[in-house]
Structure 1
Amino acid sequence: MGSKYLCICLFLVTLLSFGQNSKSDTFWVYNLEEAKEISKKENKNIVLYFGGSDWCRPCMMLQEDFFDDYKFTTYKKAFVFLYVDIPRNRNLLTAEQKEENYKLLEAYNKKKTFPLVSILNTKGKVLEELSGYSSLRDPKYHFELLEKYN
């Protein structure tokens, strides 16, 4: 009987942990109009990130080395972060989100390079962009890009 309660407690603790981890990702916005609205209201530039969550190995490495790096947390309040995922698995996005993401792909990533990090002003104009990510796994240039517009 005691091990049954222990399993239930461990399960609840695990659920709470996952809930807290998902809250750490709440800095992402998934709609350009919402990002521009927040950007104007808070007078912040937008970081537009194109990734392929289920197929793009450089995107996965950039996620680990840049977006998940402790240094990145210092920039979370300085920008509005817009994430555009272009997965191969069509079930990962709702129909509405897929439509939004492909519109943004056509407008802001005509060469379809992944990963792509762009800095936009409050009106959605591209100020600068950085495409690709090296297998050397050095996010130095990505941090320099954020620092330049911070």
Structure 2
Amino acid sequence: MKLLFLFLLAGSNLLFTDWHADFETARKEAKANGNYILLNFSGSDWCAPCIKLRQEVFGSAAFEQLANNSLELYDADFPRKKKNQLAKELQQSNDALAEKYNPLGKFPYTVILTPDGKVVKAWEGYPGNNSTLFIEQLKSVCDAKRP
């Protein structure tokens, strides 16, 4: 059982290897690389649709390819369990992002932004519960125009 838990824990960390540790870095990289920013609001330890979205979409090879070519990634996480609490500065940053881009507190909530912070498109929840469809929607936004 312990081995299974460690395997799952290690696998979940792999899903976020290309995600930026802070939003400002994602913004700077987007500007430098001519990419959009994918800002995802999640509740990593309590929101079942957030967990499903992370596993089925953000953990897929198709998403990884799209992200490597067109996106800078940032996950504004809002965990509830005490053991998963974020550092105070990071929590304040995520709170400010939520106030600006997700004032109704929807989870999951995914936003495509220009490097200057303009909203290009937003999705509430896990659209259609279909990873292929959601990745196609993301790709169409990225292909339509470049920031």
Indicate yes or no: 2:100 matched with 1:107: yes
Counting only pairs closer than 5 Å after superposition, residues 37-76 of structure 1 correspond to structure 2 as 37-76=28-67
Change (3 A) 1:104 1:123: same
8 Å Cα contact 2:15/2:59 also seen in 1? no
Count of matched residue pairs: 134
Indicate yes or no: 2:146 matched with 1:145: no
The whole-number CA distance in structure 1 between the counterparts of 2:118 and 2:92 is 21
Unaligned runs of 5+ residues in structure 2 are 1-5
Unaligned runs of 5+ residues in structure 1 are 1-13
Q: Could you tell me which residue of structure 1 aligns to residue 122 of structure 2?
A: 129
The whole-number CA distance in structure 1 between the counterparts of 2:22 and 2:101 is 13
The whole-number CA distance in structure 2 between the counterparts of 1:101 and 1:108 is 10
Q: Could you tell me which residue of structure 2 aligns to residue 85 of structure 1?
A: 77
SS at the partner of 2:129? coil
The whole-number CA distance in structure 1 between the counterparts of 2:14 and 2:75 is 15
1:146 partner amino acid: L
Change (3 A) 1:114 1:23: closer
Q: CA deviation at 1:140?
A: 3.6
Greater Rg over alpha carbons, structure: 1
The whole-number CA distance in structure 1 between the counterparts of 2:139 and 2:24 is 24
8 Å Cα contact 1:50/1:85 also seen in 2? yes
8 Å Cα contact 1:130/1:142 also seen in 2? no
1:103 partner amino acid: A
Q: CA deviation at 1:144?
A: 2.4
Change (3 A) 1:133 1:21: closer
Q: CA deviation at 1:142?
A: 2.0
Q: CA deviation at 1:22?
A: 4.3
Q: 1:97 aligns with which of 90, 94, 98?
A: 90
The whole-number CA distance in structure 1 between the counterparts of 2:73 and 2:80 is 22
Q: CA deviation at 1:101?
A: 0.8
Q: TM-score, normalised by structure 2?
A: 0.80
Aligned CA-pair RMSD: 2.4
